[in-house]
Amino acid sequence: MRPRYLLMLLALSAIWGSSFMWIKIGVREISPATLVFGRVGTGMLTLIPVVLLALGARGAFAELRRHWWPLFLVGALNAAVPFWLLSWSETRLDSGLAAIIQAAAPIFVALLALRFVPSERVTGWRLVGLLVGFAGVGLLVGVQEGGDVVAALAVVATALCYAGSILYAGRRLGGVQPMVIALGTLLSATILMAPAGISQAPGSVPPAETILAVLVLGVVCSAIAYLLYFGIMAGAGASRAILVTYLVPAFAVFYGAVFLGEPVTASALIGLALILGGVALGTGAVSPVAWRNARLRPPAPAPRRDLG
Amino acid sequence: MRGYVPLLLLLAAIWGSSYLFIKVAVRDVPPAAMVELRLLFAVPLLLGYLASQVGGRRALSELRRVGRVGVVLGIANAAVPFTLIAWGEQHVDSGIAAIANATVPIFVVLLALHYRPEERISRLQAAGIVLGLVGVAVLAGFNPTGGWWAVAGTLAVVLSSVSYAAANLYAGKRVGNLATGPVLAAASMLAALVLLAPLALLRLPAATPSPQAIASIAALGLIGTALAQIVFYRMLRLYGSARSSLVAYLLPVTALAYGAVLLDEPVTGATLAGLVLILAGVAIGSGRVRVAWPR
C-alpha cells in the first residue's frame, strides 16, 4: 500500500475510533435521538457543498431521485437505526466496549452472505473464524450485569444493521457514486430522525462540550470519514479499506481509557482478541491453508464479489 | 422496490409528523408567526422543485398564469387552515388535532350538498356523515384535561378542515386545466407567505425562540410541508387519486403514534372512539365504502 493510503487509513481509524468517545460525551446532556439528529444533520450539511462542487446540482439531484428508495433504506439501516442504538447503549456502556462489540460487523456480513448469497460457502478455517468471533461477542455480552446486557445486545444489533446494509448496498447501489450514497444516506437519516430528535431536544442550549461533540460527530466522523473511506476504497481497494475494522476498536479503547477514564478490563481485551481474530479468519483475510498453498501454486484470479 | 405500500407508509410517516412539529413549535412562537416561518422554509423548496421539473422560465410563466386562483387557494388552503391548526394545537394534543383534521372529506360532501343543488347522496352516505360528525363531538366534548380551551382548540382544527374542504371544491371548479398540482402548491403557499406577513409581524415571539422551536419549524416547512407535497404529487402521478387519498386514513394514526411515543400524550378511549368514528364516517360518507343491502 502506498504511504499516502496508509496515512489515510490511520487517519480514518483515528476518526472513527473517536466517534465512540464523542457519543459518550454527547449523551451525557442530550437524548440519543437528538444527538443522532444533530450528527446526521450536520454531516449532511457538510456534504452538500462537496457533492454540488463535484457533480453539479442537476447531476446530484438526478442521482438522488433515481435511487431514492435504496438510499432511503440504507439511510435507515446504515445510519439512523444503528447510530440511535449505539448512542442509546452508550448511556449505559463504556465507549471502548461498544467499539469492540461493533468490530464484529464483518462476521455478521459473512453470516448473512451465507444465508442470502447462494454461491457463498463457509468451511474450514473461515468457519472456525466465525465461531471464534461469536465467542468473543458472547463473552462481552455475557459479562455485562443486569440491564446492561440489553445495551450490549443493542450494539450487537448495530453490527447486524451494518452487515445487512453493506450487503444490500452492494446489491442495489453498485454503480452509484459513493459520494451520492453518502449524501443520500445522511439526508434520509436526517428526515427519519427529525421527529424524535427535535421533540426530545432540550429546551435550552446545551453546554459547549455537547455542541462540540455533535459537530465533530457530524462534520468529521460522518462527512469527512465517508470521503476518506471511499477515497481509500477507490485508491487502494476494498480489501485494504476494510482493514479499518481492526484499527477502530483499538483507537476507541485508547481514547476511552485516556480521555474518559474508562477501565480496560481483561474480559474486554480477551473479547477484542477473539473478535479481531475471528474477523481475520472468518472473512478469509487470513487463511493458514492458503498461506501454505500459495508457495506451491500460482495465485488464482480474485473471485469477483458480485452480490447481485 | 418502489411499490405502492412503501410509498404510502413513507408519506404517512413524513406528513403525519407535521402535527408533532407544530405542537413543539407553538410552545415558543405565536401561531401566525410560526406559520409564516414554516412557509419561509417550505416555499423555496417547492419553487426549486418546480423549477427543476419544468425549467425556471416555464415555472415562472405557469405561476403567473395561476393568478387569482392561487391567491384564493393560498387563503383557504394554506394561510387560514395552517393558522387555525397552529392556534388549536396551543390547546390540544397533536394527536387530537390530526384526528380532527381528518374530517376534510366529510365537509367536502356537506359543502357540495349546500352549494351544488344537483348533488345527491345516498342514505348510507348521509349516515356516514352523521357518524363522522358524532366522532367530532366525541373528540371535542370528551376532553376533560384541557377544559373549554381544549374544546375551542379542537373546533379550531375542525374549522380548518372546513376551510380545506372549501378550497378543495373551489379548486375542483376553477382549476381545470389551468395548472398542475405542484404549480398550485407553490403558487398558493407563496401567496399565503405574502398575505400572512402583516399578521405575523403584528404578534412576534416575546423572546428569541429556542433552537428546538426553530428546528421544529424548519422540519415542519421542509419535511412536513414541502417534501410531503412533493411525495404526494409523485404518488398521485404513479397511482392515481383514489389510491393516493388513502394516505388520509393513515395520517391521524401516525400522528397519534408520534404524539403518544415522543410527546407522552395520553391516548384515551374518547380519542380512539373519535378516530374510529371519523375514519368510518369518512369512508362511508365519501361513498368509498358501499354496503350491499339484502333484498
Please give the pLDDT value at position B259: 95
pLDDT tens per residue, chain B (295 residues)?
458 888 899 999 999 999 999 999 999 999 999 999 999 999 999 999 898 888 889 989 988 888 888 999 999 999 999 999 999 999 999 999 999 999 998 998 899 888 877 777 888 888 888 999 999 888 887 655 668 888 899 999 999 999 999 998 888 887 776 667 889 999 999 999 999 999 998 888 888 888 899 999 999 999 999 999 999 988 888 888 878 888 888 999 999 999 999 999 999 888 999 999 999 998 888 877 665 555 4
Inform me whether the pLDDT recorded for A82 exceeds 70. yes
Q: Residue A261: phi, psi to the nearest 5?
A: 65, 30
Q: Left if phi > 0, otherwise alpha if psi is -120 to 50, otherwise beta: which for A261?
A: left
Per-residue pLDDT tens digits for A192-214: 999 999 999 987 889 999 999 99
Model confidence band, residue A305 (pLDDT cutoffs 50, 70, 90): very low
Beta-carbon count within 10 A of A171 CB: 14
Partners of residue B2 in chain A, C-beta under 8 Å: 69
Please tell me the distance from the alpha carbon of residue B227 to that of residue A61, in angstroms, as a whole number. Answer: 14
Are A195 and B17 a contacting pair, CB within 8 Å? Answer: yes
Please give the pLDDT value at position B294: 53
For an interface test with A, the pick among B10, B225, B265 (most A C-beta atoms closer than 10 Å) comes out as B10
Per-residue pLDDT tens digits for A96-124: 999 999 988 888 888 888 777 776 666 77
Whether the CB of B20 is below 8 Å from some CB of chain A: the reply is yes
Please tell me the distance from the alpha carbon of residue B262 to that of residue B259, in angstroms, as a whole number. Answer: 6
User: A259 vs chain B: nearest CA distance in angstroms?
Assistant: 29
Which residue among B1, B52, B212 sits closest to A61, beta carbon to beta carbon?
Answer: B52
Inform me whether the pLDDT recorded for A300 exceeds 80. no
**Which cell goes with B209?**
425562540
Nearest CA to A20 out of A113, A94, A125, A106 is that of A94
Please tell me the distance from the alpha carbon of residue A244 to that of residue A238, in angstroms, as a whole number. Answer: 10
Please give the pLDDT value at position B146: 66
Please give the pLDDT value at position A241: 76
* A185: Cα separation from own chain's centroid: 13
Which residue among B10, B17, B263 sits closest to A194, beta carbon to beta carbon?
Answer: B17
Are A99 and A156 a contacting pair, CB within 8 Å? Answer: no
Whether the CB of A199 is below 8 Å from some CB of chain B: the reply is yes
Model confidence band, residue A290 (pLDDT cutoffs 50, 70, 90): low
Search chain A and give the residue with CA nearest B255: A195
B20 or A177, higher pLDDT: B20
Please tell me the distance from the alpha carbon of residue A64 to that of residue A75, in angstroms, as a whole number. Answer: 12
Q: What is the DSSP letter of A79?
A: I
Which residue among A61, A72, A194 sits closest to B219, beta carbon to beta carbon?
Answer: A194
Whether the CB of B26 is below 8 Å from some CB of chain A: the reply is no
Please report which helix (H) or strand (E) contains residue B228, including its range: helix B228-244
Whole-complex ipTM: 0.87
Please tell me the distance from the alpha carbon of residue A137 to that of residue A102, in angstroms, as a whole number. Answer: 9
Whether the CB of B59 is below 8 Å from some CB of chain A: the reply is no
Please tell me the distance from the alpha carbon of residue B181 to that of residue B231, in angstroms, as a whole number. Answer: 12
Inform me whether the pLDDT recorded for A136 exceeds 90. no
Nearest CA to A82 out of A6, A174, A154, A7 is that of A154
Please tell me the distance from the alpha carbon of residue A225 to that of residue A222, in angstroms, as a whole number. Answer: 5
Beta-carbon count within 10 A of A260 CB: 14
Please tell me the distance from the alpha carbon of residue B281 to that of residue B106, in angstroms, as a whole number. Answer: 7
Partners of residue B216 in chain A, C-beta under 8 Å: 198-199
Please give the pLDDT value at position A4: 87
Partners of residue B212 in chain A, C-beta under 8 Å: 198, 201-203
Which residue among A61, A69, A202 sits closest to B1, beta carbon to beta carbon?
Answer: A69
Whether the CB of B5 is below 8 Å from some CB of chain A: the reply is no
Which amino acid is present at A31?
S
Q: Kindly report the CA angle at A124 between A122 and A130, in degrees rounded to 5?
A: 60
Model confidence band, residue A279 (pLDDT cutoffs 50, 70, 90): confident
Please tell me the distance from the alpha carbon of residue B286 to that of residue B126, in angstroms, as a whole number. Answer: 9
pTM of the model: 0.88
Please give the pLDDT value at position A121: 67
Please tell me the distance from the alpha carbon of residue B41 to that of residue B215, in angstroms, as a whole number. Answer: 11
Max distance between CA atoms of chain A, in angstroms, equals 68
User: A70 vs chain B: nearest CA distance in angstroms?
Assistant: 8
Q: Left if phi > 0, otherwise alpha if psi is -120 to 50, otherwise beta: which for A8?
A: alpha
* A 24-63 → B contacts, CB under 8 A: 58, 61
| Residues B263, A191: C-beta atoms closer than 8 Å | no
| Residues B212, A69: C-beta atoms closer than 8 Å | no
Whether the CB of A259 is below 8 Å from some CB of chain B: the reply is no
| Residues A199, B20: C-beta atoms closer than 8 Å | yes
Model confidence band, residue A126 (pLDDT cutoffs 50, 70, 90): confident
Search chain A and give the residue with CA nearest B17: A195
For an interface test with B, the pick among A65, A69, A199 (most B C-beta atoms closer than 10 Å) comes out as A199
**Which cell goes with B235?**
404518488
| Residues A202, B223: C-beta atoms closer than 8 Å | no
Whether the CB of B18 is below 8 Å from some CB of chain A: the reply is no
Search chain B and give the residue with CA nearest A70: B1
Please tell me the distance from the alpha carbon of residue A297 to that of residue A300, in angstroms, as a whole number. Answer: 8
Are B89 and B165 a contacting pair, CB within 8 Å? Answer: no
Whether the CB of B223 is below 8 Å from some CB of chain A: the reply is yes
User: Helix, strand or coil for residue A119?
Assistant: coil
| Residues B21, A205: C-beta atoms closer than 8 Å | no
Q: How many CB pairs under 8 A join A and B?
A: 42
Partners of residue B24 in chain A, C-beta under 8 Å: 198-199
C-alpha torsion sign, points A52, A55, A58, A59: negative
> CB within 8 A of A279, min separation 6: which ones?
A103, A104, A106, A107, A129, A133, A245, A246, A285
SS3 content of chain B, % helix, strand, coil (to 5): 80, 0, 20
Please give the pLDDT value at position A199: 94
Inform me whether the pLDDT recorded for A302 exceeds 50. no
Q: How many CA atoms lie within 13 A of B11 on its CB side?
A: 24
